[in-house]
Structure formats: C-alpha cells, structure tokens
Amino acid sequence: MNGAQDLGGMMGFGPVSPEPDEPAFHAEWEKRALAVTLACGGLGEWNIDMSRHARETLPPPEYLTSSYYEIWTKGLLKLLAARGLVGADEIEAGHALRPARPTARPVVTAQNVPAMLARGGPCERPAERPARFGVGDAVVTRVMHPTGHTRLPRYARGKAGVVERVHGAHVFPDSNAHGQGENPQWCYSVRFSGVELWGEGADPTLSVSIDCWEPYLDPAP
C-alpha cells in the first residue's frame, strides 16, 4: 500500500542527520520494545511480513509523529488485538485481565533466545520455475498501487533499471503478509540511476539498488 512509511522522493521533512557512532537504543524502554516484539513474533501467530504490514498501516499522522520503536510497539498491539491475545481493556489497564489463550508455539524463554536468533528467519525457498531475468537484463518496474502489502517503493514504480544480482526464489511478501501463502518468487537486485528515479535535478553519479520480486518487473521495451 502507499503508506506514510514510503517517503522516498517526498520533500518537506527536514534534513537527515546521521549520528556519529549512533547507539542501538536511545532509551532503556526501547530495549524492552525490541525484546517484546521478538518474543511475541516467536509465538507463531504471524509472520515477518504481517508484522511489517501492521506497522506500515498505522494512520499517517500517528506513524509520522512516532519514533522508531514506538511504531514497533503500536504495530505489535495491532497484531495482538487482531488475534485476540489482548483486549482493549487490557491495553488500557496495562496488564492482563484474563488468562492467556494458547498460541501456535510455546512462549519464548530466555534460554531459547540465543538459538532462536542464530536460526533467524530464512526466507529463501526452492524455485518452482526458471528465473525470468538474468544479470545485465534491462527491466522496468510496474506501475501499481495495491491496497495490500508490497515491497516495491512508490518512487521506483514505472522506472527502468538493470538487474545486477539474482538472489534466488524467496517468500513473496505481498501474499505472505495477508495469510495467502508464501508463494515463492524470484528476487533480483535492480540498479536504477538517480536521474531515472528523481529526474534531471538528481546527482548524476547517484545510483540506487532495490531488491525487486519478479512480479514487480517486466522486460524493458
């Protein structure tokens, strides 16, 4: 969907000010926000694409006025409520008011964390058909405005680029985020020139590489 998270090419949001030696966390509560999000993700009630979609569908005024980990926390609350794991009254109270219902997987315990993080969440899958494109192929991204989840940025739609890497077949976020199956698709790194993306005023030395799933691409005319 075209949400508040998709800011590429938009103006008026002020300069980007990187912090030298930026810390992983700016406040103690952010550590807990990350830990709770990972622990809840381990319950097996949703996948990573559902989690991203929950964050990216926050109302734009709320998304744009929330910090990074505030967005994570608000997305998590949406997922928990949607699956009946918490009630609105419990969110208001700040603690459980009823016994927890069973979850798809057991609660993650401290001793399980190292193994869980080491295992990660691999999303590469066996290819069901040959890749449509190869390194060096000229492609163009499709112009589309889905109401559901997608990983193709708005600023890169309808743009010409060149395939620079073939990543293999991976879980397709557009279907996985909505419980419609993993639907593995080939994924490519596509390089776009800055001028192609941003127009004549762009830095002519700039290029941007974007990972694009095959359904986002057509051969360049």
HSE-up (13 A, CA, CB side) for residue 24: 5
- Residue 16's pLDDT is 86
Of the candidates 174, 128, 167, which has an alpha carbon nearest to the alpha carbon of residue 152?
A: 174
Per run of 10 residues, the mean pLDDT along the chain (length 221 residues) is 89 89 95 94 95 96 96 97 95 94 92 88 95 98 96 97 98 98 98 95 94 98 92
| Angle, in degrees to the nearest 10, between helices 48-56 and 68-82 | 110
- Residue 10's pLDDT is 87
- Residue 89's pLDDT is 95
Across 121-153, b (16+ Cβ under 10 Å) vs e yields eebeeeeeeebbbeeebebbbeeeeeeebbbbb
Residue span(s) of the chain under CATH 1.10.472.20 come to 28-119
Residue span(s) of the chain under CATH 2.30.30.50 come to 138-219
Residue type, 29: W
- Helices of type H across 83-152: 88-93, 113-119
Has domain 138-219 been given CATH number 3.40.190.10?
A: no
d(CA 38, CA 32): 10
| Paired tokens of 132 | 């449509």
Phi, psi torsion values for 88, nearest 5 degrees: -60, -35
- Residue 8's pLDDT is 86
| Paired tokens of 194 | 């800055």
Has domain 28-119 been given CATH number 1.10.472.20?
A: yes
